[in-house]
Amino acid sequence: MNYLIVSLKRWHQEFPTILKDKIGGQWHLISSKEDFSLKNLKEINPEKIFITHWSYIIPAEIYESYECIVFHMTDLPYGRGGSPLQNLIVRGHKETKISAIKVCKDLDAGDIYLKKDLPLYGTAEEIFMRSSSVSVRMIEEIITKNLKPVPQEGKPVVFKRRKPEESNIVDISDLEKMYDYIRMLDAEGYPKAFLETDAFRFEFSRASLKADKSIIADVRITKK
C-alpha cells in the first residue's frame, strides 16, 4: 500500500520512516504547496493521504479523488477554523483533543475517524512536538483498524485565524495571560509576542513563569 504524509513542519519529516517501521507499506512525504498537486498524486497513487499540518485550502480535485485525512487540534466541532492552538490557550484551555477528520468542502466540518487527548502546557513548539507523537499513533490506528469516519456531533464553534498584530502584548495586565501569550506564539513560523517603542521592537520567547510571580524570558531586540 502507498500512503502519503503532507506537512509544512520539520517535526513531521520523520513520519514516513517511523510509520514504515511500525506498520509497513510505502510512505511518501510532500512538504510544499507546489508539490501537493493532482499530477504528483497520480504518480504516488496513495491509498490514504494524511495531512498533519497545512495552511492552505485543499483543492476539491484532490479530496474528491483521494481519501484525505486532516488533523485538527480541537475537539471538533468546537474550534473549527484557524489558529486552533492560540485560540485555545487565550480562552484558558489546559487540554484539548486532536481530531482526525475526512476533508470535505466546508472547513474542518468533515466526518471524524477518531480523537486523542493532548495537554496544552509548554511552548507552542513543545505542544506541536508532543502532538506529533499523538498523530503517529492515530495514523497507525486508522490504518490497522481500518477506521471509518462518522459525522460530527454538536453545535460548531468557529475560531478566526489570528493576525500578526494580535501578538502585541502592550495591553496585557495579567501576568499569567502574558506568559500564555509568549508561550503560545513560541514556535517556528509564528510571529513572536512583541512590544514596540518608537525606535525598537522587542520579541519574547522561552518564557518561564516563576513561583515569585515573575516571568523570565529571552528577548530579541531589533531596530525599527
pLDDT (tens digit, 9 = 90+) per residue, 191-212?
999 999 999 999 999 999 999 9
Residue 94 pLDDT > 90, yes or no?
Answer: yes
Q: In the prediction, which pLDDT does 10 show?
A: 82
If you average pLDDT over residues 145-154, what whole number do you get? 97
Look up cell 480523537; give the residue: 115
Domain ranges of the chain: 2-159, 164-223
Per CATH, the homologous superfamily of domain 2-159 is Formyl transferase, N-terminal domain (3.40.50.170)
Question: Average pLDDT of 22-40?
Answer: 94
CB 191 within 8 A of CB 167: yes
Task: Let me know if domain 164-223 sits in CATH 3.10.25.20.
Answer: yes
Question: Distance of CA 52 to CAs 80, 178, 194, 206, 219, Å?
Answer: 15, 29, 28, 25, 31
55 band by pLDDT with thresholds 50, 70 and 90: confident
